[in-house]
Structure 1
Amino acid sequence: MQSPTSSQQQDQEKKLAAATALHWVKDGMQVGLGSGSTAAYFISLLGEAMGAGQLRVQAVATSLVSEALARQAGIPLFEPRKGTRLDLTVDGADELDADLRLIKGGGGALLREKILATASRHVLILADSSKVVPQLGRFPLPLEVVPFALPWVLDTLEKLQANSVLRSDRQNPTEPARTDQGNVLVDCHFNQFPDPAQLARQLEAIPGVVEHGLFLGVAHTALVAQGEQVLVYKPGEAPRNIAEFTELP
């Protein structure tokens, strides 16, 4: 269990990462809005900047919760059409490593998160320092699963030694958690997996698995707040202080 001090520090780091990301939103952009606590801070700050007349953007959200936050913040939402290419998507992560491989989906929005990420010119990940890990796998890997296929999916995951658990609804623990698409969520407790790409292929081959929470080769940049500083992560590069950058890396 986290101490109050640790929890408070993480919260401050999330706010710092969100505030830093706002500097890379340009007037007129079409922006993807992520889900989760760090993304929620970003949405709030973006709405404040728009309300002050500093920015004009249109947005698409990765979840119904983020849509509601965006409307409350006064951010105009638009319906994607064929050919829509977002300028920037700003999202969080449950885990990330030095190569910007991610685990996402702790909030259950992994499908829409991956859709918007792959439809974006630049994907910017925001994180507090606790999210950086030497190897992915400590955080349970979420899967979005078609309910009809659940028994067979669980059988296959057992063969992969996934230690899978059907996620329960927070409000009604006797019912399974549902995604915005009406599917169920399965959390896989691998603890670690040395070859994320191989695991991704294995999961994608299971009929009934709509999406998995491994985001590989998707993120372009991450802003990781560590205390009072922000570090910039790029795939295959050592982290650098944000002070070295005047524009989005």
Structure 2
Amino acid sequence: MTGELSPIDKAKFVAAKKAVEFVEDGMRVGLGTGSTAAWMVRCLGEVVREEGLRIRAVPTSARTAALARDVGLDVISLDEARWLDLTIDGADEVDHEFNLIKGGGAALLQEKIVATASDRMVVITDASKEVETLGAFPLPLEVIPFGWQTTKALVEEMLDSLDVMGRTTSLRMNGAAPLFTDEGNHILDLHLNRIGNVRQLAMVLNQIPGVVENGLFVDICDTVVVGYGDGRVQLRDLNDNSIREDRLEFVESDNLFADLGD
């Protein structure tokens, strides 16, 4: 129930609920991965059930796909959709230019493919994810398992020549074993602390053999919806440089909040 949610979860919920208002009948919608995106999928499912909204949803991970089907959404592949009207996703960090770090949920590859195949990307977040400079959150890097230690060494060597504050890298684990993404790859987390030139880093990382994709989302996000624990939401639009504020009332719903494990 909303009355039992922490302030952070309330902030995620109101951001997700507000972002669902961008979804219109007949749209093809990309669904993000992560805790905030899970709120959005639940909210979207409720709208579909109660208002009869007809949409087709393209999830960015197996777990998002499972949740979307559980709440009654029509799930299709990106190949079936070809192009999307809108993608709604969370972020691990967002700066004032709407550059993002994503990949905390190990789904950055599918998330970036889906987001770039969309007319619009709306990011939902709480105020704690807003930063002046990206880099405090470890930057995820999806790499193929073959020769991953060589790839890691090449990444570390490359970081020596770039404008970052930290240069430590680590292989993300799933218990005692390396984590595998939905695409069968590993994740290297780059502990950079501060990224001086986001565009340069994103470009250089993807030139390293073995690197599949990085978690820097540059010039992809159009709108950021920031939620607050008191029910306030801010809608920030990059295209017209506008900021609008609203407030959402918490309405308890057993169907919406039951069994939300993400």
Aligned-CA RMSD value: 1.6
8 Å CA contact 1:231–1:239 kept in 2: the answer is: no
Q: CA deviation at 1:238?
A: 5.6
Is 1:196 aligned with 2:201?
Answer: no
Q: CA deviation at 1:158?
A: 1.9
Q: Distance in 2 between matches of 1:196 and 1:237?
A: 23
Which ranges of 4 or more aligned residues in structure 1 deviate by more than 4 Å? 236-239
Is 1:166 aligned with 2:164?
Answer: no
**SS at structure 1 position matched to 2:106:** coil
Number of corresponding residues: 234
Q: Distance in 2 between matches of 1:73 and 1:179?
A: 24
Q: Which position in structure 2 is the counterpart of 1:241?
A: 244
Closer, same or farther: CA 237–133 of 1 in aligned 2, 3 Å: farther
Q: Which position in structure 1 is the counterpart of 2:138?
A: 140
Identity fraction in percent: 44
Is 1:231 aligned with 2:234?
Answer: yes
2:109 to 102, 108, 111: 111
Q: Distance in 2 between matches of 1:233 and 1:136?
A: 18
**SS at structure 2 position matched to 1:191:** coil
Q: Which position in structure 1 is the counterpart of 2:183?
A: 181
Q: Distance in 2 between matches of 1:130 and 1:237?
A: 24
Is 1:63 aligned with 2:61?
Answer: yes
TM-score normalized with structure 2 length: 0.85
8 Å CA contact 2:14–2:228 kept in 1: the answer is: no
Q: Distance in 2 between matches of 1:237 and 1:193?
A: 26
**Gap runs ≥5 in structure 1:** 1-6, 244-249
Q: Which position in structure 1 is the counterpart of 2:75?
A: 77
Q: Deviations over 1:81-104 (max 9, x none)?
A: 378110110000000001000000
Name whichever of 215-224 and 44-53 sits farther off. 44-53
**SS at structure 2 position matched to 1:137:** coil
Q: CA deviation at 1:242?
A: 3.4
Name whichever of 76-85 and 43-52 sits farther off. 76-85
Paired letter, 2:237: K
Q: Which position in structure 2 is the counterpart of 1:122?
A: 120
Q: CA deviation at 1:204?
A: 0.8
Is 1:219 aligned with 2:221?
Answer: yes
Paired letter, 2:93: E
Q: Distance in 1 between matches of 2:202 and 2:109?
A: 14
Q: Distance in 2 between matches of 1:107 and 1:164?
A: 17
